[in-house]
Amino acid sequence: GESVGLHLPTLSVQEGDNSIINCAYSNSASDYFIWYKQESGKGPQFIIDIRSNMDKRQGQRVTVLLNKTVKHLSLQIAATQPGDSAVYFCAENMWGGSGNTGKLIFGQGTTLQVKP
């Protein structure tokens, strides 16, 4: 069945270093991918998204890369800061023949720990 998974449950990085969080997906028909950040006690917060007709998209300090050949998605955070400590989820928006199905499938999440 469809699944969206993250490679590592926890990632620990030094403040100022770059972070790379990975995600693998299994549905080759998916059209749209999103990264969310969830801080303790809060709901997931949108970070950045990418459509399947792109392979890279940049935001402020974040970059998402999409490799459709191997069904792999990654989130890169430049100059990681203590405020980046959170759980990061990738999500896959399922599209069907008539467009957006409305279904969103989340990965398990990677906890990013930033060491001062």
Partner 1 sequence: EAQVTQNPRYLITVTGKKLTVTCSQNMNHEYMSWYRQDPGLGLRQIYYSMNVEVTDKGDVPEGYKVSRKEKRNFPLILESPSPNQTSLYFCASSPQGDTQYFGPGTRLTVL
* Residues that bind partner 1 in the complex, under the rule CB under 8 A: 32, 34, 36, 41-46, 49, 89, 91, 93, 100-109
Please choose, from the candidates 40, 44, 81, 42, the residue with its C-alpha nearest in 3D space to the C-alpha of residue 60: 81
What is the closest distance, in whole angstroms, from the C-beta atom of residue 12 to partner 1 in the complex? 20
DSSP labels for 27-47? -TT--EEEEEEE-TTS--EEE
Q: Which is nearer to partner 1, 28 or 42 (CB)?
A: 42
Q: Which is nearer to partner 1, 42 or 70 (CB)?
A: 42
What is the closest distance, in whole angstroms, from the C-beta atom of residue 20 to partner 1 in the complex? 20
Q: Which is nearer to partner 1, 22 or 93 (CB)?
A: 93
| Contact in structure between 18 and 77 (CB atoms under 8 Å) | yes
At residue 83, the 3 state secondary structure works out as helix
At residue 84, the 3 state secondary structure works out as helix
What is the closest distance, in whole angstroms, from the C-beta atom of residue 94 to partner 1 in the complex? 10
